[in-house]
Structure formats: C-alpha cells, structure tokens
Amino acid sequence: MNPQAVDWAAIPGPEWYRPEAVPEAFAALRGDREQGTHIRSVIGNDHAGTLYPAVVAGTDVLLGIIAEHPGPARQTALCVMLDWWGCFQPEPGFETFIGAEGESVDVIAAIVERVGRAAGTLRVIAERDSNARSLIRELLKAQSQGWTIVEK
C-alpha cells in the first residue's frame, strides 16, 4: 500500500497524533533513511507502548514495504512489527475506531488479521531472502499465537 494513498488525517487518534508526519516517515523508511523510531512514534507512542488507530493502515504499508523493498527497509519494517507484537497495546480510548466504510475496527484484531492474510507472501519472501528469513519466521509464529508475547 502506498502511504500517500491513505487519508491519515481521516483516521482518529489522540491529540498528539500528527497525521501530516506519517507519509514522510514511511518515505524515509522506504528510502532506507529510517530505523523504525519515527514510524513507531507517528502511528503510536513509542515511550508509552501504545498504538494509534493509524497503525492498522500502517500495517498494510509495512507489509507492502516487506514485500517490495528488500534490504534495510524490509528489515526495519519487520523489526517495527515485531517490536509492537504483544508488547504494545492500543492507546486508551482508541482500542476500536470507525473505519472509512463505517465499520467498527478493533486495532489489535485488524493487525493480526492483516499479517495472517500476508502469510503466504511472507513465506515466499523468507524462502528467497536469507537476511529476512528469521524475522519473518518470528512474525509468522507471533501471528499464529495471536497478540501474545512470544519468546525471542
């Protein structure tokens, strides 16, 4: 998913959510100029260990980066997702939100579901990319167990 195609401002979030900063953070990641810190702080609160609703669309963008950008960008995207997994929780008051289609979206369930849908693609990448293989296996193991802390 192209981060420019997402209306980040239409996604609710706490007062410190800055939707205007999201596209540049993803562009920096795709350009290998981002180590994950900025991504974690624009669609979540890295210090508090919380995720904003924008993390749902952000998961789609990260999965796209994993699929299309081998090398450091892929590694960073995988590390961001693994950093969140089971450790971060939705920002209080933003556990669910109303999506663009008027549906209720549960933040954690949506992340788990999106990674599950991408499992086949992730397995193919793991077969071909020895540098990403262990991170992908770890992510798939985490996904199969749900949003629980996985021994690393």
Q: Is residue 152 part of a domain?
A: no
Q: Residue 70 domain-assigned?
A: yes
The verdict on residue 61 lying in a domain is: yes
For 91-150, how does the pLDDT look when each residue is reduced to its tens digit (9 = 90+)? Answer: 999 999 998 889 999 999 999 999 999 999 999 999 999 999 999 999 999 999 999 755
Query: Which single residue is written with the structure tokens 């990319």?
Result: 129
pTM surpassing 0.75? yes
Residue 150 lies inside a defined structural domain of this protein: no
151 found inside a domain: no
Q: Does residue 110 lie in a domain region?
A: yes
Domain hosting 123: range is 3-145
| Residue 63, in any domain of the structure | yes
Report the relative pairing of strands 104-106 and 44-45 from DSSP bridges. Answer: unpaired
Do the beta carbons of residue 149 and residue 89 sit within 8 Å?
no
